[in-house]
Chains A and B, each alone.
Chain A
Amino acid sequence: MGFDFRIDRRGGIPAYVQIVQQVQQALRLGLLQPGDRLPTARAVVEATALNPNTVLKAYRELESQGLVETRRRHGTFVTGTLGRSSADSPWRAELADVAGRARAAGLERDDLAALFADVLEDLYPSKEPDVVPHQS
């Protein structure tokens, strides 16, 4: 199995963000799954002609998002998933049930979204927003 990154030099999106996004996209499509190995940073450097620090920055970013893990001497492996199972997740059915009852009780879409964000905020203490700059 391989993974060839394609870097678009004209789009204005930083190269390291492109690498992160291509891995995220492959995870969403199920083209990468937990246990799969990403190419070594060196192999990516040679194939893309990017500065080594740029590739390492992308891999560190993927690690901090919990999507991959680098094991010394073995390489970088996929450890996370992204949203693929959302359609058939049992949690989705439960949320849909709650949301349906809330709408029946007269809540607007924004009310429900605000409530959900509030609950999330309580359960998951908010992270610093500087972790993932998706745009330059």
Chain B
Amino acid sequence: MSYLTSPDAALAADGVSKRYRRGGPDVLDGCGFTVPAGVVCALVGPNGAGKSTLLELAAGLQRPTSGSVTVLGGPPHAGHPKVAYLAQHRPLFTRFTVAETLRLGARLNPGNWDVRLAERIAGPAHFHSKERVGNLSGGERTRIGLALALGKRADLLLLDEPMADLDVLARQELMGLLMAHVADTGTTVVMSSHIISELADTCDHLLLLDEGSTRLCGGIDDVTASHAVVTFAGGPERLAGHTVIESRLVGRGTSALIRPSGAPLPADWEVRTPSLDELVLAHLGTPDTSIPLIKEPAA
């Protein structure tokens, strides 16, 4: 199978598999996709889908067992000057103070460090703090990790569960700063999360992983528009010809989330576009992995 390759891809994978030990399970299994430059991409999938592994591969911290990963047109490597990565477990030097941690960020990214943004994200109260990172709460550690990632002025931000541990207000504040950063710089963001409804407002691209392979990849508007939630009187046999993602009985009728075949839908069907939540849940509820990848439809 071949995938769209764009010279402007920020992140691409081609037939990527990853196995951590010989004879172990494939965490990623023939995973392929392209994330165009300049998008804010939601990386979504159930636990164990391979999201964190994929981000580690893109950050150059792991190597694929087979296949290839491309970041910003080249091979990934740890310490890539234009790639920033927020790891799920927020690895920080626990004995450093917050101020020392941020000075380290500046030192590691000479001439390429946005001290004002890092300070705003860390929180002004923390910035000059003598508190050791090891004593911070999970949410505070996340802020410091995000400050390091965004302070770097990267062209590709890889964020693993960036909003975990944060309270509602901090989420709103930090997402606002992240989106403003995107507006200012056009940087590409790939972020994983379990909270799909939250991603719907911030992301414009979707990469849905399941069991180590790509289920959906594309612009969120395109992907939702290429599906339909239909309700009609009669049984599921009326869905013949369409790709049925999920269907259920509703009284004497049927409600289904489908990928229409292209022919006009019957006039007596009630038709609407699914929300991102509905789409993701329906796809994850379907064991059928033969559903082909959504490609960017011609506008």
Contacts and interface: CB of A to CB of B under 8 A. Distances in A.
A9 interface: yes
Interface residues of A, number: 17
Contacts of A49: 171-173, 175-176, 178-179, 201-202
Interface stretch (B81-89, B124-132, B180-188, B255-263): B180-188
B177 interface: yes
Contact of B197 (A7, A9, A42, A50): A9
A13 to B, nearest CB: 12
A52 B182 contact: yes
Contacts of A51: 40, 179, 182, 201-204
Interface in A1-52: 7, 9, 12, 15, 41-42, 45-52
Contacts of A45: 176, 179-180, 182-183
A60 to B, nearest CB: 15
Contacts of A136: 272-273
Contacts of A15: 201
A46 B40 contact: no
B214 to A, nearest CB: 22
A48 B183 contact: no
Nearest to A10: B197
A73 B179 CA distance: 20
A53 B172 contact: no
B201 A42 contact: no
A80 to B, nearest CB: 25
A54 interface: yes
Interface string A114-136: 00000000000000000000001
A58 to B, nearest CB: 13
Nearest to B205: A51
Tell me the interface secondary structure of chain A in the complex.
helix
Contacts of A53: 204
A41 B184 CA distance: 11
Contacts of B275: 12
Nearest to A15: B201
Interface string B146-175: 000000000000000000000000011101
A42 B175 contact: no
A50 B184 contact: no
A46 B177 contact: yes
Nearest to B203: A51
A22 to B, nearest CB: 16
Contact of A42 (B180, B198, B202, B272): B180
B95 to A, nearest CB: 33
Residue among A45, A47, A48 with max Cβ neighbours from chain B (10 Å): A45
Residue among A7, A42, A136 with max Cβ neighbours from chain B (10 Å): A42
Contacts of A9: 197-198, 201
A52 to B, nearest CB: 4
Given A7-B201, A9-B201, A15-B201, A52 B273 contact: no
A50 B273 contact: no
B286 to A, nearest CB: 24
A51 B180 CA distance: 9
Given A7-B201, A46-B177, 17 more contacts: A9-B201, A12-B275, A42-B180, A42-B184, A45-B182, A48-B176, A49-B173, A49-B175, A49-B179, A49-B201, A50-B202, A51-B182, A51-B202, A51-B203, A51-B204, A53-B204, A54-B201
Interface of B: 40, 171-173, 175-180, 182-184, 197-198, 201-204, 272-273, 275
The 6 closest A-B pairs by CB, nearest first: A49-B175, A46-B180, A52-B183, A49-B176, A46-B176, A45-B179
